[in-house]
Amino acid sequence: MSATAEPLDLARLRAEAVERGPQFWRSLEELADTAAFREYLHNEFPRLAARFDIAPDRRGVLKLMAASLAMAGLTACKKADHIAPYVDKPADVTPGRALHYATALSIGGYGFGAIVESHEGRPTKVEGNPDHPASLGASDAIMQAACLGLYDPERSRTPTKDEQAMSWDAFLGEVAALRDEIGNREGAGFALMIGPITSPSEAWLIDRLRAAYPRMLLCVHDPLAADGERTALQQVFGRATATLPRLGQADVIVSLDADFLGEGPGRLAHARAFSSRRIVRDGATTMARLYAIESTPTITGASADHRWAVRGSAVPAIAAALAARLGLGADVNAPVPSAALDAIAADLRKAAGTGLVVAGPHQSADVHLQVHAMNASLGSFGLAVDYIPPPDYRPPGAVSLGALVEQMRRGAVTALLVLDANPAYTAPGDVSFAEALVKVPRTMHVGRYVDATAKASRWHVPLAHDLERWGDIRAFDGTASIIQPLVQPLYGGHAASEVLSALLGEYSASPLDTLRTYWREIGGLDDAAWRAAIQRGVISGTTSAPVVSNAAPVLSSKVNPAGTGIEVRVVPDPWLRAGEYANNAWLQELPRPLSKIVWGNAALVAPATAGRLQLASGDVVRVARDNNAIELPVSIEPGHPEEVITIALGFGQSAIGQVGNGVGANAFPLRAGEALWFLDGLSVSKAEARAAVVTTQHHHSMEGRDIVRNGTLAEYVANPTFAKDREPAPSGTLYPPWPSREEAWAMVIDQTACIGCMACVSACQAENNIPTVGVDEVANGHEMHWLRVDRYYTGSVDNPGVVFQPVPCMHCEEAPCEEVCPVNATVHTHDGLNAQIYNRCVGTRYCSQNCPYKVRRFNFLDYQPFAEGTGSPLAALMNPDVSVRSRGVMEKCTYCVQRIERGRIEAELADQPIADGAVTPACAQACPTQAIIFGNRNDPGSRVRRLHEHPLDYALLAELNTRPRTTYLARVSNPNPALAKLEEPVHG
């Protein structure tokens, strides 16, 4: 058991912190300095003494003591170690058994339903909630990383005024003073800035606040918001409306710069619906077809059957040209071959009601008008597309950031409260929020980190994490969920509703009361419905009904001409979003789906453009808008539109934490005025420096090897076994077979369904205590992810096909790794698992040497020292059912053996055989498209058996005769025959 039985030793912690360099747990220094905390922990529970800084209230104590007990699972036991049992055990807790709670996580203000696994009060793992429309049981990297975010020791820990630690009550005092100040003038001079929210109860509070203070300024600041769709549909429907594409209903989909698989609050649901129309199972001979026209490489484009990369400002022309071919408006010439557009239009018309055009959120209102008109003319309403009232809170009369800053500069704002937003970092280059802020006498910031805005404000109050607060939230389709806490705020954070209530004068209102009141009185939930809502994680009946559309489509007359010269395409980073997750090491180190870049952003350019500008990957370029300039390394991306540079947002922060500070470059200052996503008129020059672009994949071609086998639907229909036929004749083996009477665990990965979203990788990291190693170690090739998603380009570099291949351990029946291990550290189990026994491993690395798939990972250095009792909160993040590996030990995918063994034990206790689907590895559970199927190959009824017998099934590197248990279904695409000769089809 971890060796911190003695009280917290600050000297040791500091020493370690200092010599450790920039790692998360260094900030224990600050933590350990508060005398109260020291004293409190000392007599509370020694083992966890080093781990937490929490408010000494009963529930928290209980949970954490339980955690201390569960800590037993983490590291090895020694003689005469101590056990700290509960004093008063909560009824529902059985030490050693995990509990699962339904809740929701807020990403960009929108809700994603989650089931959170909790070990004696320690949330350790997030899964999707099958009942929730936005997750459907799946999850993504940001959801998976939520637990790390919860324990992040660098989250702000205490209210501060002018950087002096204050109490919550002191803050309430400040709020009271504020109320006195603005009370008698209807809130004039007071401005409230909030981030994007969909929470009904918070919206209700804010509305009450605006009622109480009519002249107060409200600013909803969402740096990732785009108003094109809202404006267009406002024009069409006369009221705020949002598009809800029904990809499950669509036979032909045209994406006009829409990355519906990777972006937006509905991405997981869209991915599920899309793949449901793409996977070919026995008998099926039809598939949806996707045309993607995009301004930067996305995973949606990667999944498309036909893809054109164009500059973002050219999309309106393409929309108009396509509309014209559907009989709407006049034709204009577009950068996409006319013949191609003809074919697309024909295809759409053929599909009629099941044809769908989706416009990218960043595109202008004109494009959205065109798209709405096209869908209207296709008669897809109610079939392939619906329109709903937008779930997010955008009250009329709210002022823009620019307007607010103007007021501040004119001194018209005497008090500003920023609630869960970071404008000092995310403001565009032409909005100087920071210098306007100094003109405001009374500034308050409520957020999870002491970020740029917190540092610029006089007051800062820690905001509670989603896993430690009460609240509610809406999903992309309007469905509301209750957010329930799994643990008391670890670092004394407060819910947004508490702050809002305080502004309303309700200083002691608990978030739960506020929430319950709202849902009882406005939401109309009686206690039964409330309990049901908490249990299911979804409030039934809250899904928005589609608006019945009798509105005539409006065609936009003008078509903005495409820009010229280098255009900078700004995109949100898929994981860091607007930078709020920048201090999350899992997300920083998770390779970006296409570029595979980690720990930073780069200027992505097309090979041709790089050639013209004489840029090589790693050259630093200087991108500047008048006095705002950033420097960042170039990365050449095949399939990138020419004369365009893509830069991801969310990087280059200076005040988020040890993990995120100074990682990458901050592209927000490049924005100005209306140009938020497609920036032109920027100066791009080559700097003399070079900087490493750290990626996890260095070779991008399959070198003509039969690794990812793919074919068209036509080929599949003609010869279903085309993939198998390419295999060499099955060679025999000299070895007598080993009996496989029991389960034969196996996995099948459907490469048609896989969209390369990386959810599986992050889920694996969360489930299996996989460390992050930091940018330098990744650069050394020491990354630890057990599961990697290989991305290969096929065809031309200018518009290549993209294929993804998740590669976990193959669990070969005749494993080359096992035979060469000198110490029996990797051997076979009776159910066919390739077991890796960490505590037996001496680290010869011969197994990795002899693994043709190179799926083994080695602890080159000591990556998780905190597991040895150095006292980091991160130790509480560990999954107690999985060993934490020490330095010098080989590790690899185990098919989540801890879940298999749990399933086996449950089954034996119930005296049942292990049912198909009873055991699901983390990767399969997270996958939005259910591309990973796991089960018992010996069970004739199991899905994995059926898929293993599917004609598309093939084994990777079958010619080596390793007999992998993990097999693949060949990738099938559905290109339009009419276009086949026009451009190289995606499958190469």
Partner 1 sequence: MTARSKLYGVIGAYREPEPLVSAARTLRDAGYAELDAFTPFPVPALDAILQTRATPLPLLVLAGGIFGAVASYALILYSVMVDYPIDVGGRPLNAWPAYLVLAFEGGVLGAALAGFVGMLALNRLPTYYHPIFNAPSFTFARDDRFYLLVKSSDAKFAEARNALRRTGAILVEEVAP
Partner 2 sequence: MPQLFRPRANALARWIVLLAVIGTIFLGTGATFYLRSDFDTGVNHPLAQPVPFSHQHHVAGLGLDCRYCHTGVETSAVAGIPPTEVCMTCHSQIWTNAAVLAPVRESFASGKPIAWTQVNHVADYVFFNHAIHVAKGVACVTCHGEVDRMPLMMRAHPMQMEWCLGCHRNPTPYLRPPADVFDPEWSPPQDIAAMQAALASHEKIDPSKMTDCYVCHR
Partner 3 sequence: MAEARAATLVRGDPGYPEITGRIASIVLAGRLPRIFWLGFLGFFALMLLFLFAIAYLVAAGVGKLGLNVPVVWGTMITNVVWWIGIGHAGTLISAVLLLFRQPWRNSINRFAEAMTLLAVAMAGLFPILHLGRPWFFYWLLPLPNTHMHWPQWRSPLVWDFAAIATYIVVSLLFWYMGLIPDLAVLRDRARSRGAQVFYGLLALGWRGSAFHWKRHQTVYFLLAAIATPLVVSVHSVVSLDFAVAIVPGYHSTIFPPYFVAGALYSGFAMVLTIAIPLRAAFGLRDFITQRHIDNGVKVMLAAGMLVAYGYLSETFFSWYSGTPYDRYELFARFLGPYAPCFWIMLACNVGALQLLWFRRVRNNMALLFGIALVINVGMWLERFVIVVSGPANDFLPSAWNTATLTWLDFALLFGSLGTFFALMFLFVRILPAISIFEVAEEAHQEGAA
Site map (CB under 8 A) of partner 2, residues 29-58, x = contact: --------------xxxx-----------x
By C-beta, is 283 or 739 nearer to partner 1? 739
Q: Where are the alpha helices (DSSP H) in 352-504?
A: 365-378, 401-409, 423-426, 433-437, 452-456, 496-503
Contact partner, 88, from partner 1, partner 2, partner 3, none, Cβ < 5-8 Å per class: partner 2
Q: Are strands 160-161 and 164-165 parallel, antiparallel or unpaired?
A: antiparallel
Tokens of 195: 């981030």
Is residue 810 within the footprint of partner 1 (CB under 8 A)? no
User: Which 3-state string (H, E, C) describes 638-701?
Assistant: CCCCCCEEEEEECCCECCCCCCCECCCCCCHHHCECCECCEECCCEEEEEEEECCCCECCCCCC
Contact partner, 817, from partner 2, partner 3, partner 1, none, Cβ < 5-8 Å per class: partner 1
649 close to 631: Cβ distance less than 8 angstroms: no
Q: How far is the CB of 297 from partner 3 (least distance, A)?
A: 18
Contact partner, 211, from partner 2, partner 1, partner 3, none, Cβ < 5-8 Å per class: none
Q: How many CA within 13 A on the CB side of residue 657?
A: 26
By C-beta, is 61 or 273 nearer to partner 2? 61
Give the Cα separation of 701 and 869 in Å (integer): 44
Q: How far is the CB of 491 from partner 2 (least distance, A)?
A: 21
Amino acid at 868: E
Q: How far is the CB of 262 from partner 1 (least distance, A)?
A: 40
Amino acid at 707: I
Site residues (CB under 8 A) for partner 1, limited to 723-742 = 733, 735-738
3-state secondary structure of 469: coil
Q: How far is the CB of 831 from partner 2 (least distance, A)?
A: 8
Contact partner, 161, from partner 2, partner 3, partner 1, none, Cβ < 5-8 Å per class: none
Site residues (CB under 8 A) for partner 1, limited to 161-200 = none
Contact partner, 699, from partner 3, partner 2, partner 1, none, Cβ < 5-8 Å per class: partner 3
Contact partner, 79, from partner 1, partner 2, partner 3, none, Cβ < 5-8 Å per class: partner 2
Amino acid at 855: V
Contact partner, 882, from partner 1, partner 2, partner 3, none, Cβ < 5-8 Å per class: partner 2
Contact partner, 701, from partner 3, partner 2, partner 1, none, Cβ < 5-8 Å per class: partner 3
Contact partner, 814, from partner 1, partner 3, partner 2, none, Cβ < 5-8 Å per class: partner 1
By C-beta, is 674 or 819 nearer to partner 1? 819
Tokens of 208: 């009450």
Give the range of 143-151, 189-197, 654-662, 810-818 binding partner 1 by CB under 8 A.
Answer: 810-818
Contact partner, 738, from partner 1, partner 3, partner 2, none, Cβ < 5-8 Å per class: partner 1
Contact partner, 981, from partner 2, partner 1, partner 3, none, Cβ < 5-8 Å per class: none
Give the Cα separation of 196 and 545 in Å (integer): 22
Site residues (CB under 8 A) for partner 2, limited to 74-113 = 76-77, 79-89, 94-97
Site map (CB under 8 A) of partner 2, residues 61-80, x = contact: x---x---x--xx--xx-xx
Give the Cα separation of 361 and 803 in Å (integer): 25
By C-beta, is 231 or 848 nearer to partner 3? 848
Binds partner 1 by CB under 8 A, chosen from 553, 618, 816, 988? 816
Closest CA to 288 of 985, 974, 977: 974
Q: How far is the CB of 20 from partner 2 (least distance, A)?
A: 25
> How many other C-beta atoms can be found within 10 angstroms of the C-beta atom of residue 691?
16
Q: Are strands 459-462 and 471-474 parallel, antiparallel or unpaired?
A: unpaired
3-state secondary structure of 110: strand
Our CA dihedral for 674, 677, 678, 684, rounded to 10 degrees, sits at 110
Cα-only R_g, the chain:
28
By C-beta, is 72 or 820 nearer to partner 3? 820
Q: How far is the CB of 141 from partner 3 (least distance, A)?
A: 20
Instruction: Tell me how many residues contact partner 1 (CB under 8 A).
Output: 20
What's the first-to-final CA gap in the chain, in angstroms? 54
Give the range of 94-102, 145-153, 665-673, 813-821 binding partner 1 by CB under 8 A.
Answer: 813-821
Q: How far is CA 684 from CA 352, 570, 602, 630, in A?
A: 45, 14, 14, 10
Is residue 145 within the footprint of partner 1 (CB under 8 A)? no
Closest CA to 637 of 677, 692, 665, 597: 597
Site residues (CB under 8 A) for partner 1, limited to 944-973 = 963
List b or e across 446-471, with b for residues whose CB sees 16 or more CB atoms inside 10 angstroms.
bbbbbbbbbebbbbbbbbbbbbbbbb
Site map (CB under 8 A) of partner 2, residues 843-882, x = contact: --------------------------------------xx
User: Which 3-state string (H, E, C) describes 199-258?
Assistant: CHHHHHHHHHHHHHCCCCEEEECCCCCCCHHHHHHHHHHCCCCEEEECHHHCCEEEEECC
By C-beta, is 320 or 784 nearer to partner 3? 784
By C-beta, is 135 or 769 nearer to partner 3? 769
Residue 2: partners with Cβ closer than 8 Å, 6 or more residues away: 47, 71, 74, 75, 867, 868, 869, 875
Contact partner, 248, from partner 3, partner 1, partner 2, none, Cβ < 5-8 Å per class: none
Site map (CB under 8 A) of partner 2, residues 897-936, x = contact: xx-xx---x--xx---------------------------
Residue 230: partners with Cβ closer than 8 Å, 6 or more residues away: 240, 241, 242, 390, 394
Residues that bind partner 3 (CB under 8 A): 697-705, 707, 777, 780-782, 788, 790-792, 805, 807, 816, 818-824, 827, 840-846, 848-850, 852-854, 856-862, 887-890, 956-957, 959-960
By C-beta, is 100 or 887 nearer to partner 3? 887
Closest CA to 204 of 638, 532, 496, 417: 496
Instruction: Tell me how many residues contact partner 2 (CB under 8 A).
Output: 50
Residue 367: partners with Cβ closer than 8 Å, 6 or more residues away: 228, 256, 257, 315, 316, 319, 359, 360
By C-beta, is 211 or 734 nearer to partner 1? 734
Contact partner, 87, from partner 2, partner 3, partner 1, none, Cβ < 5-8 Å per class: partner 2
Give the Cα separation of 911 and 921 in Å (integer): 22
Amino acid at 49: A
Contact partner, 736, from partner 2, partner 3, partner 1, none, Cβ < 5-8 Å per class: partner 1
Binds partner 1 by CB under 8 A, chosen from 827, 915, 978, 980? 827
By C-beta, is 439 or 840 nearer to partner 3? 840
Is residue 817 within the footprint of partner 1 (CB under 8 A)? yes
175 close to 183: Cβ distance less than 8 angstroms: no
Contact partner, 659, from partner 1, partner 3, partner 2, none, Cβ < 5-8 Å per class: none
3-state secondary structure of 807: strand
Residue numbers at the binding site for partner 2 (CB under 8 A) = 1, 43-46, 58, 61, 65, 69, 72-73, 76-77, 79-89, 94-97, 742, 827, 829-831, 833, 835, 837-840, 881-883, 894, 897-898, 900-901, 905, 908-909
Residue numbers at the binding site for partner 1 (CB under 8 A) = 733, 735-738, 812-819, 821, 824, 827-830, 963
